[in-house]
Every structure is written in structure tokens, then in C-alpha cells.
Structure 1
Amino acid sequence: MIRKLKNSVGIIVILLLTMASCNRHDHSAQEEVYTCPMHPTVVSKQPGSCPVCGMELVRHGGPGEDLAMTPELSRVLKSPDEAILASVKTVRAEYKSLPVDVAVNGVVTYDTRTVQTIPARVAGRLERVYITYELQPVRAGQKVAEIYSPELSTTQRELIFLLENDPENKALIDASRRKLELLGMSPSQINALETGRQATSTISIYSPYSGYVVMRGPDMGTGMSERLVRAGDYVSVGQKLFTVVDSKAIRIELNVPGTTGHNVRQGTRALLNIGGKDQEVIIDFVEPFVADGQPFTRLRVYSQSGESLRIGSLVSGRIRIDGQESLWIPRQSVIDLGTQQIVFVQQRGLFRPKAVRTGIRSDGMIEIKEGLATSDEIAENAQFLVDSESFVKPLN
């Protein structure tokens, strides 16, 4: 009995000590602490003024304590979405005219206005041909072929016969010389014939022009495609053997893809890298055309800089085009999805994607051809608003 009584007394003592400890914790938890907003080191258990600056002390909330939403607090707090939208700058499209720099690439080709031909002055068979490929360079006085001609051989023998049997007949001798000249023999070849008194079976053909050899036209009536003449070919009087273009007079052909080239006009200046040097040129000819369903513009520049260039050389450069008045926005305001371009239009405090049709670009700006008005507020940098939802629900 005494033992049970001792156990009961011990349990009661433990319960009383536990209750006293909880009361002390509750009392300390309910204690209010006041501090100065400007001097956090000033702490007081009673409301009052800061002894340093005189400001009214405010109650310091405990960890995890819910604060009441006051009007002052609601004015400075925003939801996360509202905070993001508030940081996005907006702009409006502007109607103005901007110059456009267009990158162009091209190739050096021959000027067809300076085309010269080397014809066959006599009928016969080509024994040797020294021009073997297109665009082969040739200089004036260079041997280009050797031809065998029975008519030419007969005329040579006639001159030799007159020189040996009737040297006083100057009229016939001069007529024979002129005939050989008409058949393609040069004065030096005729002099060599008169000195050696021996007819040759073939005669060399020399180019009177310097330049590059290009393909001759198709043989009319034979159905043959364009090709250079070869050894063994039979040629007739007046037939074109080679076509030579002037190596100094060249033509630079530039291709501008898309509709950008439509604004290029004859007389527009361009800065081209020709032969490793920048050179300002003037566009002499503009030719719009369509290739594989895509619009292009071919530009031509005629130049006399052929001494430093070869036919087939690549040329690059830029053309500054005076743009027409159009609607422009910053280039970073547009997101290109491949099949369409979109901008983010601000509507009732929110940004919604909207499809637009763009045009040319210039100095960080992009032309808007359709889908936007000057009254629309759009995000200046659309990258801040990129979202997967934007790619499937653009506004029309």
C-alpha cells in the first residue's frame, strides 16, 4: 500500500513540472517585440520611439506568422506573372523609310558585247587544235590550230610557178599573193613561201585577239550540241572555229534572292570585293527572273578590271538600297517559327502571340508587310515571352 502511494506521488510531481514548463514557453512565445525599421539593433518589449532616430517602433512578427494584407502592402506586391509582364518593354510599329544593306554574291563572266570570232578562211580538215577547253586564255598572235586545205596548197604552187617562170608579171604575182592572204596566210607566211619556194601541206591559224575562248554556237543542220572543234573536223569557208571574248572587258553577274532585288535600280551603287580589293561599282542592268519557282534578281556590272580578274572568279559585296516607306519594328520583336513569324501583342495587360508577314531587314529592324498596326503595343524582345503555348495558338 505504501509502495503504491509513493508511485502516485511521483507521477503527480512529474505532471506539475511539465505543466509549469509549458506555461513558461507559451508566455515567452506570446511576448511582443518592437524594433526600429532603420536601426534593427534597437529592440524593445514596449511600443515607443527609437532613441537613435526618433522613428516609431514597429512590432516584429515571429517566424511563420501570417501578416494582414494592408492597402499599402497590396500596392507593392504583385503575382509572379504580373511581375514578369511588368518588366517587358513594349514598342509600337513605325512607318518610315530605312536604307537596306543587301549581301550579294556573283561570278565574273565575259562581256558579250566584246565577242570576237576566229573563222575558217579556207575549207579543209583540221590537223591539230591547240584550244582544248572552254575559257582557255589566248593571246593575240598565238597559234590555235593547223588546217590542211587542197585549195590553199594549189594557190601556193601557183605563186611559186609564177615566181620561177614569169617573175616579170607583177600583176599575176600580186593577185596570187592577195588570194593567199584571203585564204588566211599572213604576210610573214607568204614571204617565207617566196623565199623557200616550197608549198606546205598545212597552214597555221593564229588568233588576232587576246581573251578567253568560249563555246561556239551549235552546228546548224547537223543536230550537234555546242562543243569546241577538234582535230579531224572538216570545216567550210567562213565557218566559226573559235569565239574569243576580251579579257579586259568583263561582266560581273550578281544574284539577289527573293524580292529584295526588286528595289534595286539601274545606277545603284554597290561595294564589291574584286580581286581582293574593295571597289565601288554602278549597277548597269537589272534582270528579274524566276528559277525553280523562286524569284531572283540578276544584276550586271560592266567593268574594265579584267586584267586582275579571271573568268569564273567569285565576287562578293553589299548593296545599299533606298527603301520605300514601310512599317518597321525591332528585329528582336519577331520570332521566326519557320513556317510563320509571330509577335507578342499586349491586350488587357497580357501578351498574346500574333502571326505577321515580314519583309526585308535593315540595321536591327524588320519590315512588317501584314498583320500589325501602328496602334498595337508589342513586346520589344519577344524572347522573354517564348512559351510552348505560343507556338500553337497565334492570333490571326
Structure 2
Amino acid sequence: MKKYLIYLAILVVGLFLGWLLFGDKSNEEINHNHDEVSQADQMWTCSMHPQIMQPEPGDCPICGMDLIPAEAGADGLTKDQFKLTRNAMALANIQTTIVGEDNIENNDITLSGKIAENEEANSVQVSYFSGRIERLNVNSTGETISKGQLLASIYSPELYAAQQELITASSLKESQPELYKAVRNKLKLWKLSDSQINAIETSGKPKEKFSVYATVSGTVTEKLVDQGDYIKQGQPLLKIANLNTVWANFDIYENQIDYFKKGQSVSILSNAYPDKVFKGKVDFIDPILNTNTRTVTLRVVLNNTDEMFKPGMFVKGTIEGILGNGSEAVITVPASAVLWTGKRSVVYLKSNSDAPVFEMREITLGHKNGDSYQVIEGLNNGDEIVTNGTFTVDAAAQLQGKKSMMNHKSNPQDNTMVMTMELSEDFKKQFITLLPTYLNLKDAFVESHTKNVSTLAKKMLSKLQNVNQEKVSKMLQNHLSKSIEMVENISQTNNLEKQRAAFVILNDNIVAIAKNLNGLESTLYVQRCPMANNNKGAVWLSTEKEVRNPYFGDAMLTCGEVKQVIQ
């Protein structure tokens, strides 16, 4: 028994010595091998500039700071991916949908169009002799005239002389019948009737004024002369449209042309008559492509004897059951998911099903089917995309320096992305007037003064709601509507943390608009703190170059940097 105890003791001691001698080396080899594998795929980024991604450690090319492992600094995201907080997702009401293949049997195509005059029924009323308009009986466009109606009275020296010739020739019609006939024909060329010519001949006195009568019936669409004007022979006086029939012109895209042909039935809806459906047939498809819009015009002729359609009216046309043969399956996405910029169509893909990680994806669209679009390429069955709040997600991508719809070019001086947006002078003036209120709101956040934040938010809300949005672009409308929503959220809560979360999204939109301003009386600075918004970064505007952080207040008052200067 004692012998076995001795053997057991020797075995334990031997195992212990082996672990001391070889255990660390094995762990080192395992760790070394693991490090080699991880370093092979390791990317390095900058904590202040997360858009920087390099395969090796070193210095940030923008600020010179040491690069850190990308997983530690950017949550393991690729250079095109970005992450939103769940709080931001909820505030912006961002919703996603998993796309799948749909059968397109009996699907319809909906086209947008506009009512236009039937050019084949249009005419121009001209003067057949020169002279001065003594009286014009048509006072404005839109008047309805009938064939034979008196339009104008004209004094014509030329016609006065021709009448004298007629009176002289009438006394010689027996001896010189050819001369007499020639003079009468000359007056007929000026559209004088036989009764008018006979009246002149019978009276023996030339008339000083002659009447111009309408040669067609219709509606005056353009008045080309005024009373008192001198006119020449053949000069147009009025443009007249016969609106008993009108054209409904629709644009069809280049990739849709093969689906349409003459004679197809079209159902037409108008906002003016929401409860009525008008029927027509395809009458004409333009053989020439508009190279600017990449569309051709499809025309439907509509009966308009009851004058329901007005030229310029917007309409929608639906052509039924022409998108497929029943065996074709395609991916469709809601129209709300798609953003357009120039020739590009983009959606935002949710890269991680368990986390709010997104990236932009360019797609090629096919036909429109109701409120959905067919996707020809760019998406796969089962992809999850943003279907509500797409514009807010795009703004977040832009402000994080990621690939986005609005990132057309870079500004090398401040490393920020420039978004092109058309702002009218009227809109610029309105937006600039609300900037002082915004800046006061930002200062209230710096001071962490909840009550002042709520008060100023209400004031800014009133100013935003009064901004005229009638002639602004869809992009600008989206920015404004989201700004109004966030300011309203700020004004309705006294929780500073919730107010600051809404302020992040408000700034995504306000800053995007402000970047398109120019000619300001005072300089604006776009500033960004990389640690705000749960380390995702957030921006704001300031009139001071010195950073005073509205997201942390005194806790981190100087955290941030100037990203762009607006002057």
C-alpha cells in the first residue's frame, strides 16, 4: 500500500513539472496562432474619424491620432456600415421589412401623367389683311368662341384702296368683265364674303372698318394681340383650342417600353374626381426617346364634351395585367423604401438581423406596381430593408461619413461630405430667421437646462411649422417634417436624456439643410462629438469655433471638433 502511495506521489509531481515546463509554451503557441489569424483580418480605425479604415496600425491621416483596432472602435463594422441606437430607431420610427419574391400574374402598371390640349384640334385665327385693330372683342384667354363670331374690327388702308378698285371695276363689268372678276377675287382672298362684296358694290362707298369673324369654334388659349396694335397680313391674332377632346400624356421609362402597344385599355383617375374612373385607349406611343428623362410619351385621347378635364391637370393611368405571364417571380419593395438621386436608386439594407446595423445598397428598379417597385437587381430574396424612416437613416449615414445617397463629393479641407440640395432664396430667408432660436436651444442643452430646452423647442416648433413648403423638393420636405417631429418630441418631455436623443436626430436634418446655405452674415460651424449618441457620434451647429458640447454639458463640455465651416 505504501508502495502505491509513493508511485502516485511521483505521478502527481511529474504532471506538475510538465505543466510548468511546457504549459506556457502551448498557450503561447495557441495565442500566437490565434493572433496571427485575427491580425490577418484586423482593420484599424480612428476613434475620432470612424470612416478611416486601414489594414495596418499607424496614425490617422486626418488628425494624427493612433489608430485602434476596428472592432474596438467601430463595433466590428465594415467601412460602409453604420449603427443606430435603438432609442434613435424608436424616435425616428424606423421600420424594416424582409423582402421576398412575388408572383406578378395579372399585375398592373400605374403611370403618372398630365392632361394636355389635343394639338390636332388646335387652330390659329389670323388676319387676312394688314391694318390697325380698332376694336378687339376677345378680352382674355379662356373665353369660349363660336364659328362665325365677331372677333375684331380692323381699319386697313390696303383694303380701303381695294374697295375703290371694286367700285370702279363694277362700272366696267360689261366692257371689261375679266378686270371686274379679278378685283372681286382679290377681295375674296382677303376672306370677304360675297354678301360683303355685293354690299360694297351696291352702296358705291368703301367701308373704313372691316370685321374679322372666327373660322372655328373653341376656347381661346392665347391672345396674341391687343386693341390698337398694327398687324400684318397673315399675322396670328388668337390661338384657339377645341377641348371637346383632350390628350392624357403619360411618361413611360425606357425599360417599360416593350410592355405597351396601341389599343390597350387605360383606366384614368384624377384628384379632381376621386370617385370616377375614366376609360380610354392608348392612341400613340412616341417613337423618339427623351434623352434627358429617358422616357417616351404614351398618349390617350379622352372625350371631354362635358369639360371635366382641364389642360395641366394631373392624372394617373392604370394598364391592367401586363407585367408577367404568371410564371415570372420578382422581388418587389415598397415605394417608401426607395430613395432617388440622379440616375441612382438606393435602399438601406439591415446588415445584422439582431442589431440596428445598416448599409446603403444601390438597386435597379423595374416597373411600378401600385405602391411597390419591381427590383431588377441589387437585392436578394430574404434581405431586410428600411421601409419607413429611410431618409433619416440616409442622413445618419451621411453625418457618420458613410456611403449614402447624398454623399456625392468630399470636401478635402474638412473631410466632410457635401450634400447638394436646391434651396430657393425665399426658403433660405425663412430658414435663417429660425437659426437664432435653434442656437438658443443648443445653448440650453449646453447648460443642461431642461425647462429652457422645452420652452425654446416650442418656439422653434412654431417657426418650423410656418416655413412655406409649397415649392421645396421632396428631399427638403423630408428634412423639415422630421425636424418638426423631433422638436415636438423635445417640447413634450422634461427628461433631459430623451430630449438629447431627439436633438441628435433634429441635428441630422438641420445640419443637412444648413450645409447648403451660403452668403451668411455670420459664420456657422458644424461640430461633431464622436462619443455622443452612445459613441456613434452626433453633430450640431454653432456660431463659435470653440466647442461647447450640447450632449454632455459640463461633464464633457469641450468634447468634439469642427467638421465644416459654413459662410
TM-score (norm 1): 0.55
* 2:44 paired residue number: none
Q: Partners of 2:309 and 2:138 in 1: how far apart?
A: 17
* Partner amino acid, structure 2, of 1:176: V
Question: Residues 121, 329 of structure 1: CA spacing in aligned structure 2 closer, same or farther, 3 A cutoff?
Answer: closer
Counterparts of residues 249-260 of structure 1 (less than 5 Å): 249-255=245-251
1:107 pairs with 2:128: no
Q: Partners of 2:385 and 2:176 in 1: how far apart?
A: 94
| Paired residue secondary structure (1:151) | helix
1:362 pairs with 2:359: no
* 1:118 paired residue number: 125
Q: Partners of 2:339 and 2:306 in 1: how far apart?
A: 47
Q: Partners of 1:168 and 1:370 in 2: how far apart?
A: 88
| CA-to-aligned-CA distance 1:2-33 (integer Å, 9 cap, x gap) | xxxxxxxxxxxxxxxxxxxxxxxxxxxxxxxx
* Partner amino acid, structure 2, of 1:314: M
* Partner amino acid, structure 1, of 2:212: I
Counterparts of residues 10-21 of structure 1 (less than 5 Å): none
The count of corresponding residues between Structure 1 and Structure 2 is 287
> Would you tell me which structure has more helix in proportion to its own residues?
2
| CA-to-aligned-CA distance 1:220-258 (integer Å, 9 cap, x gap) | xxxxxxx712333333333444443434343233356x7
1:342 pairs with 2:348: yes
* 1:5 paired residue number: none
* Structure 1 position 336, deviation (Å): 6.0
| Paired residue secondary structure (2:290) | strand
Question: Residues 148, 303 of structure 1: CA spacing in aligned structure 2 closer, same or farther, 3 A cutoff?
Answer: same
* Structure 1 position 270, deviation (Å): 1.8
* 1:236 paired residue number: 232
* Residues 135 and 311 in structure 1, CA contact (< 8 A), matched pair in contact too: no
Q: Partners of 1:296 and 1:249 in 2: how far apart?
A: 24
* Residues 356 and 370 in structure 1, CA contact (< 8 A), matched pair in contact too: no
* Partner amino acid, structure 2, of 1:109: E
* Structure 1 position 203, deviation (Å): 0.7
Counterparts of residues 36-115 of structure 1 (less than 5 Å): 93-94=100-101, 96-97=103-104, 99-111=107-119, 113-115=120-122
* 1:246 paired residue number: 242
* Structure 1 position 151, deviation (Å): 2.7
| Paired residue secondary structure (2:380) | coil
* Structure 1 position 168, deviation (Å): 4.6
Question: Residues 395, 329 of structure 1: CA spacing in aligned structure 2 closer, same or farther, 3 A cutoff?
Answer: farther
| Paired residue secondary structure (1:308) | coil
Q: Partners of 1:311 and 1:289 in 2: how far apart?
A: 25
* Partner amino acid, structure 2, of 1:327: V
Q: Structure 1 stretch 338-347 or stretch 148-157: which is displaced more?
A: 338-347
Which residue of the other structure, out of 331, 337, 341, is the alignment partner of 1:328?
Answer: 331
| Paired residue secondary structure (2:110) | strand
Question: Alpha carbon RMSD of aligned pairs, Å?
Answer: 4.7
Counterparts of residues 1-396 of structure 1 (less than 5 Å): 93-94=100-101, 96-97=103-104, 99-111=107-119, 113-134=120-141, 136-163=143-170, 165-166=171-172, 168=174, 171=177, 172-215=179-222, 228-255=224-251, 265-267=260-262, 268-273=264-269, 276=273, 277-283=276-282, 284-286=284-286, 288-289=289-290, 298-306=297-305, 308-309=307-308, 312=311, 314-320=313-319, 322-323=322-323, 325=328, 327-329=330-332, 331=334, 340-344=346-350, 353=358, 355-357=360-362, 359=365, 360-362=367-369, 366-374=373-381, 377-378=382-383
* Partner amino acid, structure 2, of 1:104: S
Q: Partners of 1:379 and 1:273 in 2: how far apart?
A: 33
Q: Partners of 2:131 and 2:387 in 1: how far apart?
A: 76
* Residues 249 and 303 in structure 1, CA contact (< 8 A), matched pair in contact too: yes
* Structure 1 position 191, deviation (Å): 3.2
* Partner amino acid, structure 2, of 1:151: E
Q: Partners of 2:356 and 2:190 in 1: how far apart?
A: 85
* Residues 112 and 251 in structure 2, CA contact (< 8 A), matched pair in contact too: yes
Q: Partners of 1:381 and 1:244 in 2: how far apart?
A: 51
TM-score (norm 2): 0.41
| CA-to-aligned-CA distance 1:124-168 (integer Å, 9 cap, x gap) | 3332333444454332101222222223212223333455x5575
| Aligned sequence identity (%) | 20
